[in-house]
Amino acid sequence: MERDEDNLLEDGNGIAVGESSKPIQSNDNSEPQLHGGDAEEASRLSTTLFLDHVGQVILTFNSDGLSWEKLHHSSFNLDESICLGRKVAPKAATKIKFSDVYAVEFIDYGLVHEPNLLNGGRSLLGNDHEMYRFMVHGFQRSKTQSSLWVLAVYTFCHKDLQTCQMWVDRINASLNLELGRPRNLLVFVHPRSGKGSGCRTWETVEPIFSRAKVKTKVIVTQRAGQALHVMTSTSNKELYSYDGVVAVGGDGFFNEILNGFLSSRHKAPYPPSPSDITCSVDGNSSFVIHHGSSETVAETASYQNEDQSPLLSGARQQNGSGFSNSRTEDGSCNTDQDCDLSFAKDRFRFGIIPAGSTDAIVMCTTGARDPITSALHIVLGNRVGLDIAQVVRWKTTPESKVEPYVRYAASFAGYGFYGDVITESEKFRWMGPKRYDYAGTKVFLKHRSYEAEVAYIEVKSEEKNSTLERGRLSGRVRPLRSSNKSERVICRVNCTVCNKKADEVSMGSPRSVPYPPPEETRWLRSKGRYISIGAAIISCRNEKAPDGLVADAHLSDGFLHLILIKDCPHALYLWHLTQLARRGGSPLNFKFVEHHKTTAFMFTSYGTESIWNMDGEPFQAHQLSAQVFRGLVSLFASGPEV
């Protein structure tokens, strides 16, 4: 989405700053006034100033922000207007919270403009038309979409330089008290992401970072894998000097940066491999894995010096499969290290400025696919936890040796239809985002299915929508019945599900701190022909699927949603895809669709080729396992607004 910044800047009265207007004249000599006798009231500072494009106002400094109200004049009331001979009701006082302000700046002496008056009103404020000015930069929520944030600027003016400087100092002092705002960021720009607009997108939002006094080290990548290499090779000491990393690109580019960060720093045991399954039963079955005999050794390379110690420790995370992550590679606990790493995880965040083809992660974490909105979330220091899936490939092809290779996914991993689309689209990168529509159509027309086996952990709170229950239904489509409707809560700002504390989560659910795992974990097994197999870590909302693959998936609840699409007639699969593309659709309410909420799964292909779609990037895997880590990383976001 491209924007003309001049057309986005609004004043406190909702008037675009770019509009033409007249210079305002002033003979105001008012001085700052303190109201009240006690300490709390003494902090309320009020001054008569001029607000550009609005008129004379009383600006008040409150404990949580600024408020202003137009002054009334005997000869002309600036707080009301007349249109076609009828008086329009005066507008209420305007205000902005410091939490919504990202910068304030003094802009020296210059012209001040009066509002455009519909009744031909004349200037009432004297002969001078230039004043000292300072600008307050914030945002307003779009009237049509609350998650879309629009830049707003308020220019206050006064004849006295010291008065303006005093206000700038007071506002800056309050902004410095806002916790969690970044001061130094590492920025990666993908110049060819999406429509090749990565650099142009960064140029659009860079002034926001400059005004907010956020230092940025910008790396424009020149080749594939460069961001991965930089994140892997950068020492932890250097990473500690940044408050976070920002990706200007799409989901695949963020995945590259995420893997570069976690691959050398996240220590955790592998999930069980498909070879741990000792039974061989056709169709659906269940089996038990005993943790005492199946726990594997933690991956990641060893480090030779203190600077290369990992930033993230598995001891601070718990995967849903119940495998304890509280040990280092040699089996010993490292409490001192864990304290430092917990601090690193708390302060180090990731940001995404959308410039890709789908930008599903941004849409799920901010509610809008908009670079301005994402940049504001970053400079304002918003924070939201994000689940991450650790995917371990055991075999690349049927003939390959077992050689575990780890990848991380933040949004989605898909096989079959999804893997075929990403493979086909790679041939047409020159088409930009349209290549997905073209590739998707070609793959849909082929209507291929694949034989595979999937096993997943049984979760007690899972909705009862298994194949056996669906098999008793004679209709092709049915409403999804849930025994616990309270679980079907859409993830929003201050989500109660994502913010649920560890001691409020049942033993069958993932936790953010270790607990003794149960003696055994029950796995359910499904084997058959599938058009697609998908694992959604978040809802995966995008412009093609406005509600996402799973509308009620959450950002940080520690679960992934396994979606198995069994072989079915071409027309029914088209119906399923049509439901995905509709807002309020029901893509999961089909007899041939299985939906399982779980914390880990295994996969084995019975074909000769097996390509997965991992956050928008192809990933070849004949055998793999995946487990989700609750809130493993933090993003500069707050979740979609209602």
Q: Which residues are catalytic?
A: 251
Report CA-CA distances (Å) from 553 to 369, 446, 574, 591: 19, 30, 23, 21
The number of beta carbons lying within 10 Å of the beta carbon of residue 29 is: 10
Please give the Cα distance from 18 to 128 (Å, whole number): 22
Residues 15 and 115 sit within 8 Å (Cβ to Cβ): yes
- What single-letter DSSP state applies at residue 160? -
**Residues 6 or more apart whose Cβ sits within 8 Å of residue 459:** 320, 508, 509, 559, 596, 597, 598, 599
67, two tokens:
């408020």
Q: How many angstroms separate the CA atoms of 639 and 633, rounded?
A: 14
CA distance 201 to 372: 9
Answer for the pair 575, 583: CB distance below 8 angstroms, yes or no.
no
Token output for 109 = 């002496």
Is the Cβ–Cβ distance between 584 and 413 less than 8 Å?
no
Residue 233 buriedness (CB in 10 A; 0-12 / 13-18 / 19+)? exposed
Buried b (16+ CB within 10 A) or exposed e, 555-574: bbbbbbbbbbbbebeeebbe
The rounded distance, in Å, linking the Cα atoms of 163 and 31 is: 8
The Cα–Cα gap between 626 and 498 comes to 21
3-state SS, one letter per residue, for 561-625: EEEEEECCCHHHHHHHHHHHHCCCCCCCCECCEEEEEECEEEEEECCCCCEEEECCEEEECCEEE
